[in-house]
Each structure stands twice: as structure tokens, then as C-alpha cells.
């Protein structure tokens, strides 16, 4: 069992069962309908996967994406095995309250030996999938205008710091030259 993958899955499961995911956004159409009738803001809300993704931590959203891709058909996913592993992840990590292993086995309809084997398969599949997803996400984020703007700001700050250091060296050099000139003038008057 990979302890890092286990910790990521536990965190993912906690966030899946968290009431914080039950967020909602106001529906502009619902507000418009109710405002027109009574002049009071509306209360109808929409729940979309956008807020769910926003509520998940980056690590948990990466695990979620990996599980979705594992459940996909080949060549990207594992097909039916991936769907079985995703179901196992939901039962083992996301079910609240947490079930005992024998209860999880009963819910999945498998033996404890098969259960242990599938947990190991899940960890191995995620060990393989997560690094690829992280690289893909990094490449996608690097292409975002905000990332490019951040790189430009960093380069601008680096150049400004370099210019400031150069200016400081020139100022110090000028002060040293002035001090030498004062000493020479003092010696000349003696």
C-alpha cells in the first residue's frame, strides 16, 4: 500500500463527503423572475460541477480527475476494471460514515482477499495516472494568460532588482571615489 496515495485518497474522500461541497450559486433567471414579481432578490439556486471543482482542493481534484480517467474506456482508461476501482474508491474513501472493511466488502460484493487486491490495484493505477495528470495540468496552466503574466511580472521584478543592485554598486563606488578625493585633498593641504 502506498501511503502517499492512501493519504490523497483519504483527503479526496473527506472532501467528497464534506457539506462544503453542497454549495450553490444564485440562478440569474430565478432572481429575475422573483425580483420582477416582488422586487426581492430570488432564492432559486443552481448546483453545478463548477462549484464542486472550486470547492475541492487541487490535490483532491487531481485524484477525482484520475479516477474519472481510470473509469474511461481504453486506451486512456482501464475500462470496466477502472469503473470497479472507482466504485471501490467511493465505497472505501468517500462513504460517510466510514464503513468497516467487512461492510465495504459486503457493499461491493467481494471477498476480503479480493478487496485487498483491488485496493492495491487502485493504488498502483493512481501511482501511474497522477504524475501524467500533474504534468498535463502544469502544461495547461503554463499556457494560461495569468501564468504568462506572472512570468512577465517575475522577469520584470528580476530585471528591476538587477538594475537596483547595479545602481547601488555605482552609488557606493562614487562615494568611495569621493572619500578618496577628500583624503587626497586633506593630504595636499598638510
CA 91, 92, 94, 98 torsion: positive or negative? Answer: positive
pLDDT of residue 17: 73
From first to last of its 190 residues, what are the pLDDT tens digits of the chain? 789 999 999 999 998 876 555 455 555 665 555 555 554 444 444 444 444 445 678 888 899 999 999 888 877 677 888 899 999 999 999 988 888 999 999 999 999 999 999 999 999 999 999 999 999 888 888 888 988 898 899 999 999 999 999 999 999 999 999 999 999 998 888 7
pLDDT of residue 109: 92
Which helix (H) or strand (E) covers residue 25, if one does?
strand 25-26
pTM greater than the 0.85 cutoff: no
pLDDT of residue 52: 47
pLDDT of residue 98: 86
pLDDT of residue 79: 84
CA 8, 11, 15, 16 torsion: positive or negative? Answer: positive
Cell of 148: 504568462
Give 88's Cβ-side CA count (13 Å radius): 27
Secondary structure string (H, E, C) spanning 77-146: CCCHHHHHHHHHHHHHHHCCCCCCHHHHHHHHCCCHHHHHHHHHHHHHHHHHHHHHHHHHHHHHHHCCHH
Amino acid at each position: 500500500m502506498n501511503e502517499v496515495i492512501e493519504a490523497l485518497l483519504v483527503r479526496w474522500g473527506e472532501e467528497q463527503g464534506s457539506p462544503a461541497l453542497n454549495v450553490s450559486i444564485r440562478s440569474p433567471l430565478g432572481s429575475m423572475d422573483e425580483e420582477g414579481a416582488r422586487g426581492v432578490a430570488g432564492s432559486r439556486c443552481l448546483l453545478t460541477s463548477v462549484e464542486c471543482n472550486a470547492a475541492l482542493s487541487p490535490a483532491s481534484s487531481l485524484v477525482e480527475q484520475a479516477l474519472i480517467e481510470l473509469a474511461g474506456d481504453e486506451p486512456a482508461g482501464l475500462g470496466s476494471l477502472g469503473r470497479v476501482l472507482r466504485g471501490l474508491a467511493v465505497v472505501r474513501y468517500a462513504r460517510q460514515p466510514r464503513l468497516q472493511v467487512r461492510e465495504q466488502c459486503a457493499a461491493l460484493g467481494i471477498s476480503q482477499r479480493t478487496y485487498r487486491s483491488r485496493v492495491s490495484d487502485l493504488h498502483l493505477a493512481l501511482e501511474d495516472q497522477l504524475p501524467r495528470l500533474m504534468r498535463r495540468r502544469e502544461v495547461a496552466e503554463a499556457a494560461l494568460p495569468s501564468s504568462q503574466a506572472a512570468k512577465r511580472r517575475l522577469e520584470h521584478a528580476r530585471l528591476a532588482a538587477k538594475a537596483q543592485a547595479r545602481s547601488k554598486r555605482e552609488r557606493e563606488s562614487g562615494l568611495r571615489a569621493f572619500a578618496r578625493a577628500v583624503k587626497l585633498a586633506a593630504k595636499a593641504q598638510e
